[in-house]
Amino acid sequence: MALRQIYIFLAALLGAIPAAAAAPHDAAFVAWAKAHAAPLPACASIKAGADYRAIAASLGTARVVALGEPVHGAHEPLALRNCLFRYLVEEQGFTAIALETGLHESRRLHDYVAGGAGDVREVARSGFTWGFWRYPENIELLEWIRAYNLDPAHARKIAVYGIDVSGGDADGAWARARITLDEGLDYLARAAPASSMPPRKDIEPFLGRFSAPSYRALTGRERKKLRLSIAGILAFFDTNRAALVAASSQRDYDWARQNVVAAQQLQSLFDVSGVPDPEGRLLPGDYRADAARDAAMADNALWALDREGPRGRILLFAHNGHVMNGNSRGGIWSVYARPPSAMGAYLRRKLGRELLILGSSLSARSNGAGRPRTMDAALERVSPAQFLVDIRMATGKPAQWLSQEQSISVNYTTENLIVPQQAFDVLISFP
């Protein structure tokens, strides 16, 4: 979820948000779900694998399967992600995984699984943002993909992408944002040192000022100049594409150009970001930054899908609050002047039914606040085991309950208010 939501509010909001009251037809949904739930085998390790035909039955023609996690770092969602990805690669022809980590930073992950040099833990530390390198399941994922790719029996290699905004830190200063510009400029200096000199020179004055605090100090004229400079670099990439690819490689060109796009995304984020609250609280206008971030994540996911080609299929893994087809409402987001759209809403508009959204819930008993949300509590009553239910199939009173506003736990401490049948296609419940 949004950065300060994860790192600042967890302790402060423990138990502070009341659960929404149960809506009518809750019992009808539970009874329907019991009859239609499909068990999901537990899978402790990607090396062991698991049979996920229950999920495959819901895939249809989806080219992107977006799997949401209810909290960052919980073992069960990460283990499911790993084992599901193995199943999708080996049985369903999936070609890539896209993760909630910075696009620029994830190039290290991408190159490592393709056979590049490095120690997996050092690669993870520099390639995963927001501390996600600490999760052993992420190390296991990288090792499995690398081993798969190094096996000559596998002609189609598997890719890893990060789709999040680059260069961020928990304090919201985006102090390393310039890495996106540096990547594009360094590439041009290698591939077209003479002809790219004018656009590179044009943006040089801004390189040391490309962070959230420094950007706030720029005048309107300077911001416009920076915007035009970034657009000029992209125009150079597009105009000279054939020559640049010939002087380097398609992969290097694609990543360098998308890093410049990532710089545009950061400027859009800076344009709508105010001064952070000194106490770390969300402010009414902060919805604009959340919306800019999720729009950027959607664009990066579509870029990854485009790189995979017409036969590419991607497992997209991020927080429920990003993958859902909806807006961030309720809980800590109640302060917002407007509810910002999640990444899943952008992707749904672009991909339609080629997008399958799997939301997930942890047992209400594992909710640290001790307050079951209506969605979590209902799913817990369906079965104590791990299962999924395709809520697109619901009719009558169960569908009526799913079409009403419900609450789902976020990071143990707060909630999102969602319309389940709009937000998700399939729901997964973890014991």
Using one digit for the tens of pLDDT, what is the confidence trace for 348-357? 999 999 999 9
Digit-coded pLDDT (tens) for 252-278: 999 999 999 999 999 999 999 999 888
C-alpha angle 66-70-74 in degrees, rounded to nearest 5: 105
Digit-coded pLDDT (tens) for 137-161: 999 999 999 999 999 999 999 999 9
What value does the mean pLDDT take over residues 12-33? Answer: 63
Query: Is pLDDT above 60 for 23?
Result: no
Q: Looking at per-residue confidence, does 104 or 10 come out higher? A: 104
pLDDT of residue 10: 37
Distance CA 98, CA 64 (A): 10
Model pTM score: 0.92
Distance CA 364, CA 382 (A): 12
Q: How many CA atoms lie within 13 A of 44 on its CB side?
A: 0
Strands 314-319 and 96-102: parallel
pLDDT of residue 365: 60
- Across 49-58, 162-171, 172-181, least confident range: 162-171
pLDDT of residue 197: 98
**How many residues in the chain?**
431
**What's at 16, amino acid-wise?**
A
Distance CA 168, CA 175 (A): 7
Q: How many CB atoms lie within 10 A of CB 135?
A: 17
Query: Is pLDDT above 60 for 281?
Result: yes
Place of tokens 């390639």: 127
Distance CA 229, CA 275 (A): 25
| CA-closest candidate to residue 70, choices 422, 418, 403 | 418
Mean pLDDT of the chain: 92
* Token reading at 370: 């001790």
Cα torsion angle, 328, 332, 334, 336, sign? negative
Query: Is pLDDT above 50 for 315?
Result: yes
Distance CA 70, CA 21 (A): 20
| CA-closest candidate to residue 360, choices 408, 314, 407, 325 | 408
Q: How many CB atoms lie within 10 A of CB 396?
A: 11
Q: How does residue 17 score in pLDDT terms, banded at 50, 70 and 90?
A: very low
Q: Which residues pair with 362 in a beta bridge?
A: 430
CA distance from start to end of the chain: 22
Q: Which residues pair with 38 in a beta bridge?
A: 388
